[in-house]
Structure 1
Amino acid sequence: MAHTAAALGLTKPNVVEPLQVSFAAIGIEPSDWEGDVLAVAVTEKDLCRSPCSSFENAVLKRLDSQLGGLLSEASAEEDFAGKAGQLVVLRLQGQGFKRLGLIGLGRSAPFTAAACRGLGESFASVAKSARAGSAALALASPGGIHGEFKPNAAAAIASGTVLGLYEDNRYRSESNKVHLKHVHLIGFGYGPEVDRRLELANYVSSGVIFGKDLVNSPANVLTPGQ
């Protein structure tokens, strides 16, 4: 039997640790959060400056003050205007968070599930690049998302984050380990209802990943007996 299996050249997948990311919605100021990476989702309007070149947005203004003007300086140098798809990440020292990222949303905050999933994927790319074990996503303007949509928005972002972290490394000689374990969402409300939506989104995303693994499995691995 062993000789037959060898002759067939059965593919042996690598043992890959499943994604295990916890999500929680919390009600604190983004500048007070502590962890590896703090990402702030900003619209083009959020980047408006006062005549003295400081941010008018309260969240960005507080962060910039905490960083001694580094945020406004870096965003100007990188020509970051909050356009959709734009990213800028700063490595910091002496702060509660090791990195601060800005994620551009374009002209307005996401108001559809698809847009929120896209934001989650962008957030995942920031966390992966930083090899972060903990990360938080905050909205520069929490009021940009209507209150009744916030639980759904948080759930869609969680789904996008999990799917954005996913890579099928089972058949690669070298795999990229996902370090992210804990995610906090700031500005999306908090409480039992949001927690329930986040937990459900995590389960559903895990199911989607399981389906992708099945589809991507070679025929000599995913046999009828399995």
Structure 2
Amino acid sequence: MTTVRVEQGDITQSDADAIVVNLFEGVTTPGGGTGAVDGALDGAISALIADKEITGKQGETATIHTFGKLPARRVVIAGLGKRERFNTDVVRSVSGGVARRLRQLGAKRAAVIAHGAGIGGLDAGDSAQATAEGTLLGLYEFKRYRSSSNG
């Protein structure tokens, strides 16, 4: 069973299996929670942006290891797309994709910043609600008619 809890705190201090930060398309210098994580990782996110390995396009994800620089083992960077098209539907969609990526990584616990709260113009509560909804929808699997023979 999936449990979602909303907490306020410093994302860089989370001891979850993975932490999730975000990036709008076109951003060259991460700020907010993403900037704090970037600083703790000695500019690793900024380097990926500079090398165009991450662009912030909606639905894009990148995973980097922290190698002990943070309590969490991994950081997942989620692309939020263009800022002018950003809304709670984007948060739901991105959160679903991130949840599936975290499941692929085997993460049991993840800490996620409030996507778009502040710079994206969303209220933190609306962002948290959309994140929870997207996460639960992204992890949903209908298995009623599956058997071991048809996967």
TM-score over 0.5 for the pair: yes
User: 2:142 maps to what in 1?
Assistant: 168
| Equivalent of 2:33 in 30, 54, 59 | 59
Q: Spell out the pairing of 1:163-202 with structure 2 (5 A cutoff).
A: 163-170=137-144, 171-173=146-148
- The two structures, once aligned, show a CA RMSD in angstroms of 2.6
| Contact residue 59 and residue 93 of structure 2 kept, 8 A | no
| Structure 1 residue matching 2:113: 3-state secondary structure | strand
Give deviations 1:96-153, integer Å, cap 9, x for gaps. Answer: 11110111111127423x3232122122122111111101211475312333xx4333
Structure 1 segment 195-210 matched on structure 2, within 5 A: none
Could you say which residue in structure 2 is the equivalent of 1:153?
127
CA contact (8 A) 1:41 1:137 kept: no
**Cα distance 1:151–1:68, how it changes in 2: closer, same or farther (>3 A)?**
closer
Q: Which residue of 1 aligns with 2:28?
A: 48
CA deviations on 1:134-182 (whole Å, 9 max, x unpaired) are: 01211475312333xx433322221221121122345242899xxxxxx
The whole-number CA distance in structure 1 between the counterparts of 2:149 and 2:127 is 35
Greater gyration radius: 1
1:22-71 Cα shifts (integer Å, max 9, x gaps): 212211122122210111122125x323xxxxx4x243332222112222
Structure 1: how far apart are the matches of 2:104 and 2:49? 19
- Point out the structure with the larger helix share: 1
Aligned length: 147
Q: Percent identity?
A: 24
C-alpha contact 1:123 1:137 (8 A) present in aligned 2: no
The TM-score normalised by the length of structure 2 is 0.80
Contact 2:28–2:50 under 8 Å retained in 1? no
Assess if the C-alpha contact under 8 Å between 1:43 and 1:107 holds in 2.
yes
Are the aligned partners of 1:75 and 1:88 in contact in 2 as well (CA < 8 Å)?
Answer: no
Report runs of 4+ in structure 1 exceeding 6 Å deviation.
none
Q: Call closer, same or farther: CA 1:175–1:74 in 2, change over 3 Å.
A: farther
Out of 102, 108, 114, the residue aligned to residue 133 of structure 1 is: 108
